Structure 1
Amino acid sequence: MDGRAAAPGAGTVVNALATGRGAAFAVDLETTATVMLDPDADEVTGEIAGAPDGDTRLIERCVERVVDRFGTGEGGHVRTDSEVPTAAGLKSSSAAANATVLATLSALGVEAANDPDADVTKTEACRVGVRAARDAGVTVTGAFDDASASMLGGVTVTDNTNDELLHRDDPFATHALVWTPPERAYSADADVSACERVAPMATLATDLALDGDYGRAMTVNGLAFSAALGFPTDPAVEAMADCDGVSLSGTGPSVVAVGDRADLKAVRRLWDDRDGETRLVETRETGARML
């Protein structure tokens, strides 16, 4: 009873910490999960490639939740391998959860698709991972915005207070430039009260996103949340003249700019002078998939 699946990371359009509403878009950095179920095993164990001491509670809980609903009590083992850096604001937890949920469904022979006639829709499969993330304590909001963008692809706008998908659209830019400084920031450690103080700007950004003005929504969000969470706004200011939108991604520390590849090269020349790593990636219309 084996299954494999992959899910992309994502960048932030609107951070949901202030109001419960958020938006995100998929980027072409993937996490792959391999799940091996055993009817005779009495527990689920996890492994993260390249991180022997990594926290495996999330991926283990994803397997357990899928088995509780669709299986017959199987245990087993899950391993993830990822291009998405952890604790960098690029939705590594959402990608891992989505890949693990789909891999477990695959191992059980359960179809997950956008087709309403499928055994389980991808949106509902996404909610399984979101609930597992809450169980594991790796998220404050449940991160349905991040998880839905990873699972469905494109850009999604959500209400995380009740895991409701408000809107989904195709990618609004072809490329994204990601700058990730050396430090890391864990979503569960974010200062929620500081974020709530920028709720008026978050509401404005959400309204822009619901109107399809994703680039300006990103920029409004990025300036507000960088200030609230104590990150510098200099990288965003450097990028504004040469991109469609730029934002702190998640609770940081990564900053993501979107636009045409040629325009983003000018931004990259500036960001390459900063400590850390700069990557030019494509946005994704497709989301998570079974392999």
Structure 2
Amino acid sequence: MNGQAAAPAAGTVLNALATGTGSAFAIDLETTAAVELVDDGEVTAEIAGHPDADTALVERCVERTLERYAADAGLAETAVGADVRTESEVPMASGLKSSSAAANATVLATLDALEIADAVEPVDACRLGVQAARDAGVTATGAFDDASASMLGGVTVTDNTADELLARERVEWEALIYTPPERSFSADADVSACERIAPLAELIAELALEGRYGEAMSVNGFAFCAALEFPTAPLLEALPAVDGVSLSGTGPSYVAVGDRTALEDVRERWEARAGTTRLVETRNDGARTL
């Protein structure tokens, strides 16, 4: 019994660290997962190209999914395990939701191997990955905002304290991503510093819920660059040409959205910096089985 799935990365509209309310949108960089069920009860995982990477999240996603759905697939009496392999276009620890994409792809691939993927609501599959991320300690918030954007596509606004979807819309932007050479792990973020800008985060949430996503992004960018001590120069280099620009997640990547002409102008400025710059499509379709 084998399954495969893919899930897109995401960029930030509102970081949820301040208040628990967050917002993100899917972008066209993917993580894929392949799951083979085995009968020895063991779960093993590997991440292509990263032989020494921590696989606890991927393994926990499989375990959570099997605990919840193995009986529905008629495997309650069997000691079910799995071998898992993930492969990703999304740079790790870059603020582009690589963990959420990996979790979503792994959960869906496991459901595909169980042959019940079509019977499970995408948002329920998403919540399994979020629970696994908390179990594995790779997120400070549970990242339901990031995970929901990756699973469902488009832009989402969520209450991460209740894993509740508050809004979802299609978007027609393109996205420009600048990723500096350094890495930043979201679990290491200074949560107390982020909580001190909670009143500003509440304003950003209001903008997002009114559909003013670009404005929300830009305010979020300046607020969280200050809280997390990232430079604001990349934001200033993008404004006012783009619809919105922000630090993505807890960094170090920055993401701007708008039309291609404006983004290509910004790309010239960002490419003068050390690191990698990519121009990608946003995604209104989310994770899927293969």
| TM score, norm. by length of structure 2 | 0.97
Deviations, residues 159-216 of structure 1 (Å, cap 9, x unaligned): 0001000000001x42100000000000000000000111111111110000000000
Q: Deviations over 1:30-89 (max 9, x none)?
A: 000000001x21210000000000110000000011111111341021100000010000
Alignment partner, residue 98 of structure 1: 104
Q: CA deviation at 1:2?
A: 0.2
Which residue is equivalent to 1:88? 94
Q: State the one-letter code of the partner of 1:196.
A: E
Residue pairs, 1:217-232, within 5 angstroms = 217-232=216-231
What residue in structure 1 maps to residue 73 of structure 2?
none
Instruction: Quote the residue 1:142 is aligned against.
Output: 142
The within-5 A match list for 1:6-85 is: 6-38=6-38, 40-71=39-70, 72=76, 73-85=79-91
State whether structure 2 residue 276 is matched by structure 1 residue 270.
no
Count of matched residue positions in the alignment of Structure 1 and Structure 2: 283
CA distance in 1, matches of 2:142, 2:284: 23
Q: Percent same amino acid among aligned pairs?
A: 69
Q: Aligned partners of 1:94 and 1:154: how far apart in 2?
A: 15
**SS of corresponding position for 1:95:** helix
CA distance in structure 2 between the aligned counterparts of 1:265 and 1:100, rounded to whole angstroms:
34
Aligned to 2:202: 203
Deviation, 1:242, is 1.3
1:185-196 to structure 2, matched below 5 A, reads 185-196=184-195
The whole-number CA distance in structure 2 between the counterparts of 1:253 and 1:230 is 10
Partner of 1:164: 164
Task: Give the deviation of 1:241 after TM superposition.
Answer: 1.8
User: What is the alpha-carbon distance in structure 2 between the residues aligned to residue 161 and residue 108 of structure 1?
Assistant: 30
Q: CA deviation at 1:111?
A: 2.7
Question: Amino acid of the residue matched to residue 149 of structure 1?
Answer: A
Counterpart of 1:241 in 2: which secondary structure? coil
2:111 pairs with 1:110: no
In structure 2, how many angstroms separate the alpha carbons of the residues matched to 1:174 and 1:18? 26
* Unmatched runs of 5 consecutive residues or more in structure 1: 113-118
Q: Deviations over 1:213-241 (max 9, x none)?
A: 00000000000000000000000011012
Distance 1:76 1:125 in 2: 18
Give the secondary structure class of the aligned counterpart of 2:239. Answer: helix
Name the CA distance, whole Å, in 2 between partners of 1:109 and 1:42: 18
Question: CA RMSD, aligned part only?
Answer: 0.7
Q: Which amino acid aligns with 1:100?
A: T
Following superposition, the deviation at residue 150 of structure 1 comes to: 0.0
Secondary structure of residue in 2 paired with 1:242: coil
Measured in 2, the distance between the counterparts of 1:189 and 1:33 equals 26
Q: TM-score when scaled to structure 1?
A: 0.96
